[in-house]
Amino acid sequence: MNKAIIGKKLGMTQLFLQDGTMVPVTVIQAGPCTVVQKKTVERDGYEAVQFGFEEVAERKLNKPELGHRKNAGANVKYLHEFQLEGCTLEVGQKVECDVFAAGDVVDVTGITKGHGFSGVIKRWNQHRLKETHGVGPVHREVGSMGPISSPSRVMPGKRLPGHYGVEQVTILNLSVVKVDKEKGVILVKGAVPGAKNSIVYVRNAVKK
């Protein structure tokens, strides 16, 4: 059965394995999640399960949001839908972090950190201009935009300065190093997208 959960990135640390190997890990507070809605082929045209994460006060949700969560009996802040084949979960059930186990391979999706308006060196990893006479006064600018005579314009797709970050990114095939049910956390090998306390979505690997 496919597995998934909503979590919160708490930060990074390191873990020592039994053979003494040091492994960098990301700590994710995974769940508990409540099944808010279950979609079926007959009614919706496809199978999916909608999870809710992080309980909030009833006053912080409007009437449509409260109505949508009524059947689940949980006032949750975040909703996310997973297409899980062969899922036996029903509305109102809880999903804990122990749905995963050490050794599982997962994909983690999150929103990357925002860097605001950034230049081409930071945004696209381009080189600086030469630090010699005749170049400048700016050495971190875009540089040549293309031929003058033909086509006499900037071609579409040219990598330019602009807004950098705040986009959805999925990191594939990360290993689950440890699952601590008492603390409700999953330790995943390596880095995952997003800043501390940002929401991430963990599911079993699609391209394992």
Reference 187, options 101, 94, 99; nearest CA is: 101
Q: Supply the Cα-derived Rg of the chain in whole angstroms.
A: 23
CA 166 to CA 150: how far, in whole Å?
Answer: 36
Residue-wise pLDDT tens digits, 61-78: 888 888 888 887 888 888
How many whole angstroms separate alpha carbon 8 and alpha carbon 11? 9
Label residue 164 exposed, middle or buried (CB < 10 Å: 0-12, 13-18, 19+): middle
Tokens of 157: 């797709």
3-class DSSP state for residue 175? strand
Look at residue 46 and tell me whether its pLDDT is greater than 80: yes
pLDDT for residue 194: 92
pLDDT digits (tens, 9 = 90+) for 120-157: 999 999 999 888 888 878 888 888 888 888 888 888 98
Q: Is the peptide bond before 193 cis (omega within 30 degrees of 0)?
A: no
What percent of the chain has pLDDT above 90?
38
pLDDT tens for each residue of 152-178: 888 898 999 999 999 999 999 999 998
What is the distance between the alpha carbons of residues 69 and 100, in angstroms, rounded to a whole number? 25
Domains (ranges, CATH) in the chain? 4-115+170-204 (2.40.30.10), 120-165 (no CATH)
The overall average pLDDT reported for the chain is 88
Q: What is the pTM of this model?
A: 0.84
Please report how many Cα atoms fall inside a 13 Å half-sphere around the Cα of residue 136, on the Cβ side: 7
- What is residue 126's predicted lDDT score, i.e. its pLDDT? 92
At residue 27 the predicted structure's pLDDT band, cuts being 50, 70 and 90, is very high
Residue 86, pLDDT above cutoff 80: no
pLDDT of residue 24: 94
So what's the pLDDT on residue 186?
93
Q: What does the DSSP 8-state code read for residue 11?
A: E
Question: What is the pLDDT at residue 1?
Answer: 58
Alpha helices in the chain (DSSP H): 41-44, 63-69, 120-124
pLDDT at site 113 = 94
Percent of the chain with pLDDT over 70: 100
